[in-house]
Amino acid sequence: MVEALVILLLIVAAAITLFPIVWMVGTAFKPAGQYFTDPPTWFPLPPTFSHFLSIPSFLVGYRSLLNSFVTSGVATVISVAVGTMAGYGLARLREDGDRLAIWFLSQRMLPVIVLVIPLLLLIHSIHLVDTWTGLIIPYVGLNVPYATWMMRGFYNDVPIELEESAMLDGCSRLSALWKVVVPMVVPGILSTAVFVYIFCWSDFLIALFLTVRNAVTAGVELTAFSGGTSVFYGELSAFSLVSALPILAVGLLAQRYLVRGLTLGAVKG
Protein backbone atom coordinates (compact mmCIF):
# COMPACT_ATOMS: atom_id res chain seq x y z
CA MET A 1 0.00 0.00 0.00
CA VAL A 2 2.76 2.40 1.01
CA GLU A 3 4.78 1.10 -1.95
CA ALA A 4 2.02 2.02 -4.35
CA LEU A 5 1.68 5.49 -2.88
CA VAL A 6 5.41 6.08 -3.18
CA ILE A 7 5.44 5.00 -6.81
CA LEU A 8 2.45 7.20 -7.52
CA LEU A 9 4.09 10.24 -5.99
CA LEU A 10 7.27 9.61 -7.96
CA ILE A 11 5.35 9.27 -11.19
CA VAL A 12 3.57 12.55 -10.51
CA ALA A 13 6.92 14.21 -9.83
CA ALA A 14 8.35 12.77 -13.02
CA ALA A 15 5.33 13.98 -14.97
CA ILE A 16 5.64 17.50 -13.61
CA THR A 17 9.33 17.45 -14.43
CA LEU A 18 8.86 16.18 -17.96
CA PHE A 19 5.75 18.07 -18.99
CA PRO A 20 7.38 21.43 -19.85
CA ILE A 21 10.19 19.68 -21.69
CA VAL A 22 7.85 17.53 -23.71
CA TRP A 23 5.65 20.55 -24.43
CA MET A 24 8.67 22.43 -25.76
CA VAL A 25 9.66 19.54 -27.99
CA GLY A 26 6.11 19.35 -29.28
CA THR A 27 5.94 23.06 -30.02
CA ALA A 28 9.17 22.85 -31.97
CA PHE A 29 7.33 20.70 -34.49
CA LYS A 30 3.90 22.34 -34.34
CA PRO A 31 2.53 24.43 -37.16
CA ALA A 32 2.05 27.99 -35.91
CA GLY A 33 -1.69 27.78 -35.53
CA GLN A 34 -1.45 24.97 -33.02
CA TYR A 35 0.61 26.69 -30.30
CA PHE A 36 -2.33 27.93 -28.32
CA THR A 37 -5.62 26.20 -28.89
CA ASP A 38 -8.58 25.32 -26.78
CA PRO A 39 -8.57 22.40 -26.11
CA PRO A 40 -4.75 22.25 -26.25
CA THR A 41 -3.08 20.48 -29.13
CA TRP A 42 -1.13 17.72 -27.45
CA PHE A 43 0.49 16.31 -30.57
CA PRO A 44 1.61 18.31 -33.56
CA LEU A 45 -0.41 17.14 -36.52
CA PRO A 46 1.12 17.27 -39.01
CA PRO A 47 4.62 17.82 -37.56
CA THR A 48 6.69 20.37 -39.38
CA PHE A 49 10.39 21.10 -39.65
CA SER A 50 9.90 24.62 -40.89
CA HIS A 51 10.82 26.22 -37.57
CA PHE A 52 14.27 24.68 -37.65
CA LEU A 53 14.74 26.03 -41.14
CA SER A 54 13.68 29.59 -40.37
CA ILE A 55 16.10 29.97 -37.45
CA PRO A 56 18.87 31.53 -39.60
CA SER A 57 16.71 34.59 -40.22
CA PHE A 58 16.83 35.52 -36.54
CA LEU A 59 19.97 37.41 -35.51
CA VAL A 60 22.83 35.04 -36.29
CA GLY A 61 20.88 31.80 -36.34
CA TYR A 62 22.89 28.64 -35.93
CA ARG A 63 26.16 30.50 -35.86
CA SER A 64 25.41 31.27 -32.24
CA LEU A 65 25.92 27.60 -31.51
CA LEU A 66 29.35 27.83 -33.03
CA ASN A 67 30.08 30.88 -30.91
CA SER A 68 28.98 29.10 -27.76
CA PHE A 69 30.91 26.01 -28.69
CA VAL A 70 34.15 27.83 -29.39
CA THR A 71 34.06 30.23 -26.45
CA SER A 72 33.01 27.57 -23.97
CA GLY A 73 35.45 25.05 -25.37
CA VAL A 74 38.50 27.28 -25.40
CA ALA A 75 37.69 28.71 -21.99
CA THR A 76 37.28 25.20 -20.61
CA VAL A 77 40.60 23.99 -21.97
CA ILE A 78 42.49 26.99 -20.62
CA SER A 79 40.73 27.06 -17.24
CA VAL A 80 41.18 23.36 -16.63
CA ALA A 81 44.81 23.44 -17.71
CA VAL A 82 45.63 26.30 -15.38
CA GLY A 83 43.49 24.86 -12.61
CA THR A 84 45.02 21.39 -12.88
CA MET A 85 48.47 22.80 -12.33
CA ALA A 86 47.48 25.31 -9.67
CA GLY A 87 45.35 22.79 -7.81
CA TYR A 88 48.31 20.47 -7.56
CA GLY A 89 50.53 23.20 -6.17
CA LEU A 90 47.90 24.15 -3.60
CA ALA A 91 47.22 20.58 -2.58
CA ARG A 92 50.90 19.85 -1.98
CA LEU A 93 51.39 23.08 -0.08
CA ARG A 94 48.92 21.66 2.41
CA GLU A 95 48.07 24.11 5.20
CA ASP A 96 50.17 26.87 3.67
CA GLY A 97 47.97 26.80 0.60
CA ASP A 98 44.71 26.88 2.56
CA ARG A 99 44.22 30.60 2.70
CA LEU A 100 44.93 30.98 -0.98
CA ALA A 101 42.52 28.16 -1.77
CA ILE A 102 39.77 29.86 0.19
CA TRP A 103 40.41 33.07 -1.70
CA PHE A 104 39.92 31.16 -4.96
CA LEU A 105 36.72 29.66 -3.64
CA SER A 106 35.40 33.04 -2.58
CA GLN A 107 35.63 34.21 -6.18
CA ARG A 108 32.86 31.79 -7.00
CA MET A 109 30.60 33.59 -4.52
CA LEU A 110 31.02 36.92 -6.26
CA PRO A 111 27.77 37.97 -7.97
CA VAL A 112 28.42 38.10 -11.69
CA ILE A 113 26.55 41.38 -12.05
CA VAL A 114 29.24 43.16 -10.03
CA LEU A 115 31.90 41.97 -12.46
CA VAL A 116 30.09 42.35 -15.69
CA ILE A 117 29.74 46.13 -15.77
CA PRO A 118 33.44 46.90 -15.30
CA LEU A 119 34.32 44.01 -17.61
CA LEU A 120 32.26 45.58 -20.36
CA LEU A 121 34.04 48.88 -19.88
CA LEU A 122 37.47 47.26 -19.80
CA ILE A 123 36.90 44.97 -22.75
CA HIS A 124 35.39 47.83 -24.68
CA SER A 125 38.56 49.81 -24.15
CA ILE A 126 40.65 47.08 -25.77
CA HIS A 127 38.15 46.79 -28.62
CA LEU A 128 37.23 43.19 -27.94
CA VAL A 129 33.51 43.58 -27.41
CA ASP A 130 31.47 41.16 -29.51
CA THR A 131 34.41 38.87 -30.22
CA TRP A 132 35.27 35.35 -29.18
CA THR A 133 38.27 36.57 -27.20
CA GLY A 134 36.11 39.12 -25.47
CA LEU A 135 34.00 36.30 -24.10
CA ILE A 136 36.79 33.84 -23.45
CA ILE A 137 38.65 36.23 -21.16
CA PRO A 138 35.83 36.58 -18.60
CA TYR A 139 34.95 32.90 -18.88
CA VAL A 140 38.52 31.89 -18.10
CA GLY A 141 38.78 34.46 -15.33
CA LEU A 142 35.66 33.18 -13.66
CA ASN A 143 36.43 29.50 -14.00
CA VAL A 144 40.11 29.32 -13.12
CA PRO A 145 39.34 29.78 -9.40
CA TYR A 146 36.64 27.13 -9.54
CA ALA A 147 38.82 24.68 -11.48
CA THR A 148 41.73 25.26 -9.10
CA TRP A 149 39.56 24.66 -6.06
CA MET A 150 38.02 21.49 -7.50
CA MET A 151 41.31 20.03 -8.67
CA ARG A 152 42.89 20.71 -5.31
CA GLY A 153 40.19 18.54 -3.80
CA PHE A 154 40.96 15.73 -6.21
CA TYR A 155 44.70 15.93 -5.62
CA ASN A 156 44.15 15.74 -1.88
CA ASP A 157 42.94 12.23 -2.46
CA VAL A 158 46.20 11.21 -4.14
CA PRO A 159 48.94 10.27 -1.67
CA ILE A 160 52.21 12.11 -2.08
CA GLU A 161 54.20 8.89 -1.92
CA LEU A 162 53.51 8.27 -5.59
CA GLU A 163 55.37 11.33 -6.80
CA GLU A 164 58.09 10.77 -4.28
CA SER A 165 58.89 7.32 -5.52
CA ALA A 166 58.80 8.58 -9.10
CA MET A 167 61.27 11.27 -8.19
CA LEU A 168 63.48 8.75 -6.46
CA ASP A 169 63.60 7.04 -9.81
CA GLY A 170 65.00 10.21 -11.31
CA CYS A 171 62.02 12.24 -12.51
CA SER A 172 61.79 15.99 -12.05
CA ARG A 173 58.80 17.21 -10.08
CA LEU A 174 56.97 18.39 -13.16
CA SER A 175 57.40 15.16 -15.07
CA ALA A 176 56.46 13.16 -11.98
CA LEU A 177 53.29 15.22 -11.87
CA TRP A 178 52.61 14.58 -15.52
CA LYS A 179 53.48 10.90 -15.65
CA VAL A 180 52.28 9.63 -12.31
CA VAL A 181 49.82 11.96 -10.63
CA VAL A 182 47.77 13.33 -13.50
CA PRO A 183 46.69 9.87 -14.72
CA MET A 184 45.25 9.34 -11.25
CA VAL A 185 43.11 12.46 -11.34
CA VAL A 186 41.85 12.12 -14.89
CA PRO A 187 38.27 11.55 -13.71
CA GLY A 188 38.61 14.72 -11.64
CA ILE A 189 39.93 16.66 -14.62
CA LEU A 190 37.12 15.44 -16.82
CA SER A 191 34.38 16.22 -14.35
CA THR A 192 35.82 19.67 -13.63
CA ALA A 193 35.97 20.27 -17.37
CA VAL A 194 32.34 19.24 -17.70
CA PHE A 195 31.25 21.70 -15.05
CA VAL A 196 33.30 24.54 -16.44
CA TYR A 197 31.84 23.84 -19.87
CA ILE A 198 28.30 23.77 -18.56
CA PHE A 199 28.89 26.99 -16.69
CA CYS A 200 30.22 28.75 -19.80
CA TRP A 201 27.52 27.40 -22.10
CA SER A 202 24.73 28.33 -19.67
CA ASP A 203 26.04 31.82 -19.12
CA PHE A 204 23.60 34.53 -19.97
CA LEU A 205 24.54 37.73 -18.18
CA ILE A 206 28.10 37.97 -19.49
CA ALA A 207 27.15 37.16 -23.05
CA LEU A 208 24.26 39.61 -22.83
CA PHE A 209 26.60 42.42 -21.88
CA LEU A 210 29.57 41.56 -24.04
CA THR A 211 28.05 40.57 -27.36
CA VAL A 212 26.11 42.52 -29.93
CA ARG A 213 25.85 40.41 -33.04
CA ASN A 214 28.91 38.55 -34.25
CA ALA A 215 29.79 36.69 -31.08
CA VAL A 216 26.25 36.15 -29.88
CA THR A 217 25.99 32.88 -27.95
CA ALA A 218 23.12 30.42 -27.90
CA GLY A 219 21.62 32.02 -24.81
CA VAL A 220 21.51 35.50 -26.31
CA GLU A 221 20.32 34.16 -29.66
CA LEU A 222 17.27 32.80 -27.87
CA THR A 223 16.20 36.31 -26.98
CA ALA A 224 15.96 37.11 -30.68
CA PHE A 225 12.85 34.99 -31.03
CA SER A 226 10.87 37.10 -28.64
CA GLY A 227 10.37 40.70 -29.54
CA GLY A 228 8.07 43.02 -27.66
CA THR A 229 4.61 41.68 -28.21
CA SER A 230 5.20 38.80 -30.57
CA VAL A 231 7.03 35.63 -29.68
CA PHE A 232 7.92 33.10 -32.33
CA TYR A 233 7.24 30.08 -30.19
CA GLY A 234 7.90 27.50 -32.85
CA GLU A 235 11.35 28.74 -33.71
CA LEU A 236 12.06 29.47 -30.06
CA SER A 237 11.25 25.91 -29.07
CA ALA A 238 13.18 24.48 -31.98
CA PHE A 239 16.28 26.43 -31.10
CA SER A 240 15.86 25.73 -27.39
CA LEU A 241 15.85 22.06 -28.20
CA VAL A 242 18.99 22.31 -30.27
CA SER A 243 20.90 24.46 -27.82
CA ALA A 244 19.93 22.49 -24.75
CA LEU A 245 21.04 19.14 -26.11
CA PRO A 246 24.82 19.56 -25.71
CA ILE A 247 24.65 20.23 -21.98
CA LEU A 248 22.05 17.56 -21.44
CA ALA A 249 24.26 15.00 -23.10
CA VAL A 250 27.39 16.14 -21.30
CA GLY A 251 25.64 16.40 -17.96
CA LEU A 252 24.16 12.94 -18.18
CA LEU A 253 27.57 11.54 -19.08
CA ALA A 254 29.09 13.13 -15.97
CA GLN A 255 26.28 11.99 -13.68
CA ARG A 256 28.69 10.33 -11.34
CA TYR A 257 30.44 13.58 -10.51
CA LEU A 258 27.36 15.74 -10.53
CA VAL A 259 27.05 16.12 -6.79
CA ARG A 260 30.71 16.88 -6.29
CA GLY A 261 30.68 19.58 -8.95
CA LEU A 262 27.41 21.12 -7.80
CA THR A 263 28.50 21.40 -4.18
CA LEU A 264 31.95 22.71 -5.03
CA GLY A 265 33.66 19.58 -3.80
CA ALA A 266 32.10 19.62 -0.36
CA VAL A 267 30.04 16.50 -0.93
CA LYS A 268 31.83 13.62 -2.58
CA GLY A 269 28.61 11.94 -3.70
Partner 1 sequence: MRESLGQAVSGGDSTVALGGMPGIPSRARREYTLMVVPAIVITILVGLFPVLYALWVSFHRYEVLSPEHVFTGWDNYRNVLTDPVFWQSVARTALYVAIVVPCETIVGLMLAVLVERRAWTRKAFFPVLLLPVLIMPVVVGFLWRQLWEPRFGAVNEVLGILLRTRVDIPWLTNPTAAFVALVVTEIWQWTPFMFVVLLAAITAVPEEMREAAQVDGAGGWAEFWHIVLRIITPVMVLAISIRTLDAANFFATVYTITGGGPGTSTYSLVYYIWNLAHFGADGTASAAAFLFLLMLVIPASTVLAQIVRQQSVHR
Site for partner 1 in 84-123 (CB under 8 A): 85-86, 88-90, 92-94, 96-97, 100, 102-107, 109-122
List C-alpha distances in Å: 214 to 4, 237, 240: 54, 22, 20
At 138, phi and psi to the nearest 5? -60, -40
Cβ closer to partner 1: 47 or 159? Answer: 159
Cα distance between residue 108 and residue 193, in whole Å: 16
As a residue count, the chain comes to: 269
Strands 230-231 and 226-227, bridge-based pairing: antiparallel
Kindly identify the residues of this chain, within the stretch 9-38, that bind partner 1 according to CB under 8 A. 9-10, 13-14, 16-21, 23-24, 27, 35-38
Give yes or no for a contact between 192 and 175, defined as CB atoms under 8 angstroms apart. no
Residues 6+ apart with CB under 8 A from 210: 116, 119, 120, 123, 129, 130, 134, 135, 138
What minimum distance in Å lies between the beta carbon of 182 and partner 1? 13
Cβ closer to partner 1: 160 or 186? Answer: 160
What minimum distance in Å lies between the beta carbon of 237 and partner 1? 7
Kindly identify the residues of this chain, within the stretch 191-250, that bind partner 1 according to CB under 8 A. 198, 201-202, 204-205, 208-209, 218-219, 222-223, 225-226, 231, 233, 236-237, 240, 243-244, 247-248
Q: How many residues bind partner 1 (CB under 8 A)?
A: 106
Distance of CA 33 to the CA centre of its chain: 35
Q: Binding residue for partner 1 (CB under 8 A) from 44, 54, 141, 162?
A: 141
With CA atoms as reference, report the closest residue to 75 among 239, 243, 201, 242.
Answer: 201
What minimum distance in Å lies between the beta carbon of 53 and partner 1? 19
What minimum distance in Å lies between the beta carbon of 3 and partner 1? 9
First to last CA, the chain: 31
What minimum distance in Å lies between the beta carbon of 125 and partner 1? 9
Residue 186 in contact with partner 1, rule: CB under 8 A: no
What minimum distance in Å lies between the beta carbon of 129 and partner 1? 10
Residue 64 in contact with partner 1, rule: CB under 8 A: no
Q: Binding residue for partner 1 (CB under 8 A) from 72, 76, 153, 238?
A: 153
Residues 6+ apart with CB under 8 A from 71: 132, 135, 136, 139, 200, 215, 217
Q: Binding residue for partner 1 (CB under 8 A) from 124, 175, 183, 213?
A: 124
